[in-house]
Structure 1
């Protein structure tokens, strides 16, 4: 009797019954729960199994799919796990203002192909920016400022053709600005981007001329507070839409300012202060939109007062300190209609200072300290604002004139602006967690600091600058249906970075506390620039304080899940009955019809593996992989002692352990902040448990006990091939040993392609994923990006592009068609790396292109003497077979996959090269065990440098995933 139809009917009924309980897509629900497991605390109403139907705070859905996560200012701590990739329909991700939320940004975020907003402002994320960000081709708003990101700006970000807002400011980024080099993209490809905000980092090198062009739509270029050197490129003058330019506080920036800068007729803010700029003082004639100009503390040539001083009608602030400018100041300068501040100290202005009766009403400060002014006249009424002439001949010793008094004594600065209180009655006394609003109501405000990067004013005392901001914020928040009653602004000041900062307090309307959902909505409005301030404030960013919800978090109101309790109980009972019947039928059916032996032997799939459970019944019994308890691993590593610590990375640490059988193992223990998500953890286990070859690293087992994620590998003592080539491991490889390592890697990859069932494409072949055992045998490792080619055994797979910068197959990148020839390309790059000991891609130089350009088959060693690793020597005798080796490597990196050899063909050719070089059986050949040479060192375990579960290319900061 065939019971299959009945099983299908019953199973369908069970699925439909379960669907009543949860409308949210199961993958999205599972992903959210996995992500939340790494956070503390979570919003109070994140309960049940239906985030969409139960309106989880901060979660917005379209249909049954989660499309938005907005959790700014929730005081989250922990890290963002790789499970974020489960939310494949995500459009908005905003986790801003959670300063305890950190760790590395998971590479899997690059798989969110629908993502438009990625906003992580004011958190503590660290490590390198993953190259996979370049796969977010729909991204419009990328705001990662005010974190602790380090390393260079990935060139892959040049692929973000839809990017509008690009903010990496206030991090610890180093290196230069990447540009298109003929192979890899660069920031110059971002012709639709309007905002380059890269200030307050440690970026260096010259500003490449290619980065600016007439095709670009940039309106804000902020490169301030970095370490750029060289001169400002003349291509800057091609950016006709530009409104804000900041090159200030780059102490090594030198050379003249491009003479075509006055082509920027829309420019309102110009900051060039605190550098080593030379040449003539820039001519700003015709730049009538300029409001704020600061070029202080440079090395411009001595000059007379420029004619453009009195021709800028919008000018509010002119800062030209210590520039050696000479001559008499024109009276018209003080009558410019909008002028507020003149800071001109440390020059050679001379003669008589004349301020006419028509001086501008907004003019608050004239600072002319340390000049050569000999007299002062004023027409009409007395100028009663701040005038400072200390250090001029006019201020003779004993002078009683107030302008001869050093600032800070009898010329105190006026108090900065503070939103006034408007109380009709005696103000109440507020509780300790409450503040008094401007309308004299006690409430708990949402507080933080607004940072404006280019305000067009400098007077911090005038209500005329700040009252419009308060009014504008109130109107726009009301239009957005945000429950904001009043707004308080106070303590404006200019920070060391020259950003205007002011404290902001938003008070709730009609209640004492904002709700969690209120904070989610308000935070998102401020973090993604939904709110646009008046134009005189310019671009901004906001850093909020954690909001003190009542009792830590809001008590949830009666929800949909509460109202559905009778339905849940009824459906649960019915579902239990269906499950019981279904299981009984499955047992009967199994007894009548057993699966073929092949299926019995196949490892249990990880797809249905419930990571939330650690019971023996839920953990799959994978062939070749043992399940360890946490206590077992603690014992074999001596309680994870420092003495057994052999490496670490962003995921956690690696420990040496000894099993009771005496086998040495490497125990990789993930910790909070790891790049690893549960899906990647399962993938590593599933794939490694299915492959068994002497040139592929072996998985001994894994542990899921006590909420731990631990992998146990065979112990491979001699580090990675990359460490040997760079000298870090202390293992020295001569020509013949390198050929043996390359051959071993080729055989391991060939096994994956031709003998694994189904065939596997590794997708991340590189030197840091080739390990060396005690006899220097190569072992291919890190299967996080690997992809089966299907049960039919051959063909291709259409998939998102993943790989590592410099090794990635260009055909795969262009077509997204993955084949085994993609590994062949990466292997060819690895061959060239072994030959040269150079990184495949470094400072814009691509090893494939370098070798192709240098090859001269009419010369010894193909004319590659300058590219060869000096450790190898450069004699044809010492490098026998090199020409054939190079020919093979160049065949492997052919543009078209069809023109590349298979891995088995490549392995056979390498064996022939080894015989030419005096390989096994050749006279004088030494075995690896007899000829190994080590520097004096403390062994470093190969797993210590790469992340254990980094499915973006191995986990070392320099090898993140990067489509070429």
Structure 2
């Protein structure tokens, strides 16, 4: 009887709540409908947009939707910004975007959105920032975008957009930034773009543009950067009028199939960067002296003749002069460095290799910071030239890395929260929680960042209204372009925490492009803004009192809470009898299993080790879920993959993956330490290593680039791990996704193969005792690493892994990506080898190396990458050849301190205290195989159902 009375009371309370007046919807109704349609066309695996179905968008603060503070003349609030940066969204862009007609910022950057750009975007006449870069968009550019009267910036780079640039874009009178690089745009650059009065940055590199270079671009009154690299303007020349663009800071036309003479740029007073390399330019180099602030001149890989002009002497900011691979003759200049101030870690590279230089104008006596490269010139074989041997070696150029801070030695910060020492704090040994920002310079005006690092910190901290000590460049890396990516830390001012309003202010500065442009640093882009822990846990301390609306909200919330609790109590009473049977059903779904060496962790232990899976512990994510850096109760640091619901497709597959990985024990394979399986939670726990992925070390211009012995050692370790999979695992395994980002490096740079999400068991023996040589399966893997024969026949073999490993070897050799801007690493190296120029593709960050060992390593890599399966070596043969190359390579003996051993394949399993690799020097930047097109990652994927032996 008591239970029914309680139910009656609860019902009355609930009815009282339900009849209260609801909040009036004051966002424009058509915009509410538009937001719901936009949400409906997107796939949101992480649930960031779940709030888009609750109440009014502007009054209820829908996630990532910013509104105007006041109602418009129509009596409604309107959407001001959509901030959907890096949310792992896919799906398409809804045409209803055009109904957000008051919006100023549309930010969908760095997601996986596909489909085309809706023409309805052209209806948003208030739009200032159109930010769609870093997606999978395709189709052509809508003509309608060309009629947006207030557009300041169009960023569609790093998509798959094709077709011509619409002539209507010549109507964008307020647009300053055209960032359309890294797409598939084709056709002629419209000469009509010369009508744009505000354009400062024209970035169209890495497309399929053709035709001629419009001379009319020289009429643009404010143009600062022309960057058109890697297009195909075959048979055309550079207009001489480009030498009259007095505002120009950077002219980059690398690899554009251009012919004709080099233009005279001496009339461009502020030119800082000139790159005309990899064309078919002919004739002499103009004698006019470039601007005094120029840092980079690259005229390499052309057909230039004549002598090196004396105008290159006396340039005080010059960092690199590249004239290699031309037909230049005469004397080697001996005073290019005479006016350069080499303080502040400044250096100068003079690359004159592979020309016809025959003598010296004067004896060479460069300062220590000057590197001169002369190999491939007759002067290096002339008996009359003395003391130039050091300049004639086949060597490479090493880009200086970042500088270390000289901060005071302090006690470690508390570990209960993600504190760090503030390096240059005016308060000694201050501990604070930073914001992490990934930031990239899209067209920097220099070749070496080190001399400009202090100036950059001053520029950016000032632009953000921060004190200089609040900004730290934790590391930086050069990327294809060249572009300069950085990991930044922003620290609060003289306190341990940012407040919420300051976090929002800083984010708005980056996402609204409110930081002023810089001549030397060029345009920038925000790659990621990670407030992490603070976004959810730090209170907003800027408000000291509550408004009337807030008080009303609290009262309403109180009633709601009371109604909810009352209903909950009722439900508990009514369902109490069924609890036991539900518990039995839930436990029946579990598949009990005990595996030696693999621990069954509790959810509570893993939650505690990651601070309740806070964003500050997040080190990677993908379609499978998220990966966290965790600290176990025994102090061991681990990587924890927490699968999102449904990604592991059921308990059977989950336990099958555990069972498979638990049987792989080798020092060159990443180890599974344990798992968690509690109701809806499924997690895998892996060892954690501090030195990142191989891909990171090949792409990052760090203080310690990998030399050849280190690279050869990594090749040996990777091969041992794969040989174990093929010959000693029981049953043998085909990895199917070998790539540089799946080869991890521990604290001693021992290589470990990771990510068995796509792996397949080798075929079982047939009745007569023999096994087929392949597994027939759907093609999966990563473009650039795929075995061509497997791709065509769907027959996966051990030689498929050999092909992928061969591509990794080519990456070790060249530093190149497998596929970059339409160029395939295998074809590039094969072409160099066939022309007898194999050493020309060797990574210039490797330093000096033994040519014979490198040539043998290149030959092995190319044999691994042969199209025909039978022509490739087996893993046993690969190991035998690598060991022979190791033995013949000088300096490998000096690697003993790095624990180089030649032990057999069945080495012991790493201990549970070992670590798993992060993708950078900072754990928070852990990004595991984010480019994997299959969605599989280091800790992801489901091994197909198997019957273990």
Q: Flag the structure with more relative contact order, 1 or 2, with Cα contacts below 8 A and sequence separation at least 6.
A: 1
Superposition TM-score, scaled by structure 1 size: 0.49
Superposition TM-score, scaled by structure 2 size: 0.50
- Between structure 1 and structure 2, the one with the greater Rg is 1
